[in-house]
Structure 1
């Protein structure tokens, strides 16, 4: 057998229980064909085989980010970069600089950011702020998917005035005089996005290509891409057809959940497809639904009241009955469901809906998912296990946002956030996968690995150390476990003969680096399908 490439003299963390460690691999036609000792693998090399000396470098399976809006990483030239601003003044200066090069009347959009956790003032920008910075352009500043800001021009174009009622599942923020402030929560954001021009398919192609290239620089070889409309799916399909995908993509569709159940059934049925349509490069893996908000925003739907407000339990985007109807219909039509649920009450509503779907037909093999499940309790994880439901969580939320979560929810609740140890113990490693929710959190997987292992935020404060996991568990959750979400566990996720040759070469030994420096590990080469897609 002639092989295309051999990698020798490495420190391979294979995550394959049959061969947990090795020093060499051989690759042919995009797959591993041998994993083992240098001498055995070297013997497979022919005259045309590329031989790579790893010089002792550590190799891990390619990272699989199980919740990532990767197109945002390719929007640098198209949006106002607010990721690094630390004050309201800096944010407004960035907006002024950006709009100076735009025609009057043209919409301007901001990058993903998080004002309450990011700005010294810990507040959102108001229409008054934005009117001063951009008097001649409608402005749209999304944050983490649950809150957005706009100016007077944006409100006017959306038809929002002081008398506009809050939409179902959303809130138009108002000041003491009842005037709309320009801050919009949950479904109220749709009033603006409905009139704001979206990205073209061509623009989305550029964004996805650039975003995946950036993901490759972190050793990411697969992403589970939630919340895609048909244009986003078409853009990814074009990249696939042109052989320009540099990472594998599991795509989740976002039909409009606010419609009647009859319209929902017609929409889903008219698509003509269902989950698992595609191949190892691009696959439709489910439908995504939003149910509640987030921890830092005090919009996660909770059983207990938020501290300081005896009536505030967070926000739901729809009734439990409507959610159940959406889930059951999609299940009947062959779809996997992943539902955004952060608060513990939201988790219960989602599990109720999944149980209703399970009564129609078993859901275990569909691999339904609690997306985030950040405040899920152990008894809820037990319910999930009984249904064969997965948990897709993001320890990266704890890095720069733990203090904000603590302020919003209290120390005890913040300490049980992102219950990874509990989830692994109850659900098992194959049913718990890690990701970033980029751009909400940093795309760097090593930051997530460090947080899973230490539970310490950027100040060194530990939140719920009892929920920490081992290094190998964290690595497996970021690689092999993600493959289960897309039914790809037999073809990727470990360095095993016969599996896809997706892996990352690291600057340091992940298992031996001091835990506080795991985040500083860099990727020096990323390989997808046996082909180098990134090299430092």
Structure 2
């Protein structure tokens, strides 16, 4: 196999992670070395030959072929060597010179949403208020939704998506849905509801704002239909949930959508116990095609309520199998950059009193982190702003005094505006930071408008994260359906830091192509303690890989974003083939 020398920064990053997790680094190194040799194998089920196999192993080796048996790679090397392993019963696939990479892992998604295309109004396509109205009205008419039945939408981001750069009012939704309660979801922290939905939830002029939330009102004091943070739950809790079997079907459909993008693994951030059961059911029925780590989302509340929930938990930390695994608890500390609710040390542009919003009572949050740790759960906290990261790291430090969190892989989720001193602190505490460059694709302009150029250019500091925490201490993700799922747009963003307009944000935070690919392959499995099982094409690991439309390593930089998956293989099985569409 050909080997590509690692850039000096990659060596520094690897060394940084080795210092933080010597046992994990030693294990990974040993496995990577094993991947350079053939494992003793007879009768492989299939061999792939005549390709450019980017193994993403320790040495970033390039091979020509692989052999697979029982869902795992059993050999990696030259085409001739793979052919020699084949028997009359072995299927031989000629890749025709195409490039192959390990199965891609998105380390932070809300995957189930991808399965709702047929059951929700797809306002994600709207570019004006009028278009959003038309989509909702057309959905009701085309689906023949009976009067009085709830209507829901896809998640979207009106401030950055619509020409008007604002949310819809209840009156605008009423205009196209006068006979239906309508709940309009967004990417998070905000939602909209029409008059019938507000009335069904008992929200009126005299309804007080809940703790940690806001019912937006007009000049006359009447609800506008816009709900923020915990106020969303007032309506959300009365929206009829899908049946369990509908949830199963939605989950299966979502996994197939992810396969089309080359995604073979993900971490799904924030599921109820019923939704977790859905993932296990899909796996038990043999219908899973994406390996999923799952964060359990516990509603925030008092320490007493939180502990009661922990005691009654239906699942345990790390419970699961190769297809579905519980991977900790998700808590939320603040909102988002594009929602003016990320909790920041400084203030928002032209709003000298606005530091964003804390989504939790700090004392209760710290106590809940300690309780989760005490009951054996690791914690992943949504913290976008640097002030929210301060809150998170303080709570983790307190929990560490009670029971060590080192080696447990607690994480800061998003950390979009994390500061250099906080990255250093996270490294000392052995805390991960899982950021998503995808926020810079179609929302960078909104971030700059709300927060100013200084914070916009500091957002998602990938270079600093890799250098300080190593590839194993951070990962690539999208927060889909909040952002575009496409992993090659994600890699393009990491390599160029360009948004669709060609504007560069944070040029000093660029990483190499190799590092970007490692963040989508090697890095994510550390989040679920599966770094020895997947993330590279080496003998013994799951046979998860993706055949590409172009060579990721040699195409011009501007064409990285245009690469697509032409075939996705999970556990040795083809789960997506563009030629069959």
Q: Which residue of 467, 473, 481 maps to 2:515?
A: 473
Contact 1:201/1:234 (8 A) holds in 2: no
| Distance in 2 between residues matched to 1:241 and 1:80, nearest whole Å | 31
| Distance in 2 between residues matched to 1:18 and 1:324, nearest whole Å | 42
1:257 aligns with 2:300: yes
| Distance in 1 between residues matched to 2:273 and 2:193, nearest whole Å | 25
Equivalent positions of 1:457-496 (< 5 A) are 457-496=499-538
Shift of 1:19: 6.4
| Distance in 2 between residues matched to 1:341 and 1:17, nearest whole Å | 32
Q: 2:55: which partner in 1? A: 14
Contact 2:54/2:60 (8 A) holds in 1: no
In terms of mean alpha carbon deviation, does 306-315 or 446-455 score higher?
A: 306-315
Q: 1:318: which partner in 2? A: 360
1:384 aligns with 2:426: yes
Equivalent pairs counted in the alignment come to 535
1:526 aligns with 2:574: no
Instruction: Render the CA deviation track for 1:417-450: whole Å, top value 9, x for unaligned.
Output: 0110011111111111111111111111001000
Q: Which residue of 543, 547, 552 maps to 1:505?
A: 547
| Distance in 1 between residues matched to 2:219 and 2:351, nearest whole Å | 18
Q: Which residue of 75, 80, 85 maps to 2:121?
A: 80
SS at 2:337 equivalent:
coil
SS at 1:43 equivalent:
helix
SS at 2:308 equivalent:
helix
Q: Which residue of 277, 292, 300 maps to 2:334?
A: 292
Contact 1:19/1:36 (8 A) holds in 2: no
Q: 2:257: which partner in 1? A: 214
Q: Aligned pair in 2 of structure 1 residues 123, 77: CA closer, same or farther (>3 Å)?
A: same
SS at 1:121 equivalent:
coil
1:162 aligns with 2:205: yes
Q: Which residue of 33, 44, 47 maps to 1:3?
A: 44
Q: Which residue of 24, 34, 38 maps to 2:65?
A: 24
Moved over 3 A (4+): none
Shift of 1:271: 1.2
Shift of 1:15: 1.0
Shift of 1:196: 1.2
Q: 1:151: which partner in 2? A: 194
**TM-score, reference length from structure 1:** 0.98
Shift of 1:361: 1.5
Mind listing any 5+ residue stretches in structure 2 that lack a counterpart? Answer: 1-41
**TM-score, reference length from structure 2:** 0.91
Shift of 1:372: 0.5
| Distance in 2 between residues matched to 1:308 and 1:455, nearest whole Å | 26
Contact 2:471/2:522 (8 A) holds in 1: no
| Distance in 1 between residues matched to 2:44 and 2:197, nearest whole Å | 58
Q: 2:379: which partner in 1? A: 337
| Distance in 1 between residues matched to 2:305 and 2:156, nearest whole Å | 34
Q: 1:118: which partner in 2? A: 161
| Distance in 2 between residues matched to 1:125 and 1:209, nearest whole Å | 32
RMSD: 1.0
Q: 1:55: which partner in 2? A: 96
| Distance in 1 between residues matched to 2:276 and 2:318, nearest whole Å | 14
Shift of 1:274: 2.6
| Distance in 2 between residues matched to 1:3 and 1:148, nearest whole Å | 52
Contact 1:274/1:333 (8 A) holds in 2: no
Q: Aligned pair in 2 of structure 1 residues 272, 116: CA closer, same or farther (>3 Å)?
A: closer
Contact 1:320/1:349 (8 A) holds in 2: yes
Contact 1:200/1:231 (8 A) holds in 2: no
Q: 1:177: which partner in 2? A: 220
SS at 2:342 equivalent:
coil
Q: Which residue of 434, 441, 463 maps to 2:476?
A: 434
